[in-house]
């Protein structure tokens, strides 16, 4: 299965740099997701681990970087990468 938007993007950007993706975990509801470096880098690193404070999109709780999970390099969300 192909993604026409991604395929069109690659026509004009054949060698885009992969993003760094950080695994985040909510301390309240256990929601997890990968957060792209463009989001992480946009906010000051105020948490003890050196990452920004992010609000969980599911419950509004403390969404913290799971530093035990290695950073992934990918051009797409790691759960959707080809």
What confidence tier does 81 reach under pLDDT thresholds 50, 70, 90? Answer: low
Residue 70 in domain: yes
* Domain count of the fold of the chain: 1
Show contacts of 72-80: CB within 8 Å, 24+ apart: 72/20, 72/21, 72/23, 72/34, 73/18, 73/19, 73/20, 73/21, 74/18, 74/19, 74/21, 75/16, 75/17, 75/18, 75/19, 76/6, 77/21, 77/34, 77/36, 78/21, 78/34, 79/34
Is residue 2 included in any domain, yes or no? no
Is 47 within a domain? yes
Residue 65, domain extent: 18-74
**10 is a domain residue:** no
Q: For residue 36, what pLDDT is reported?
A: 93
Domain-located, residue 54: yes
Q: Please check whether residue 8 lies inside any domain of the structure.
A: no
**Residue 41 resides in a domain:** yes
pLDDT in tens, 10-55: 777 666 688 999 999 999 999 999 999 999 999 999 998 899 989 9
């Amino acid at each position: 299965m192909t993604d026409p938007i991604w395929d069109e993007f690659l026509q004009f950007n054949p060698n885009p740099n992969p993003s760094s993706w950080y695994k985040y975990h909510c301390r309240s509801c256990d929601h997890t997701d990968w957060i792209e470096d463009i989001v992480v880098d946009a906010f000051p690193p105020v948490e003890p681990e050196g990452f920004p404070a992010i609000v969980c999109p599911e419950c509004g709780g403390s969404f913290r970087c799971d530093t035990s999970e290695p950073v992934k390099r990918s051009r797409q969300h790691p759960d959707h990468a080809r």
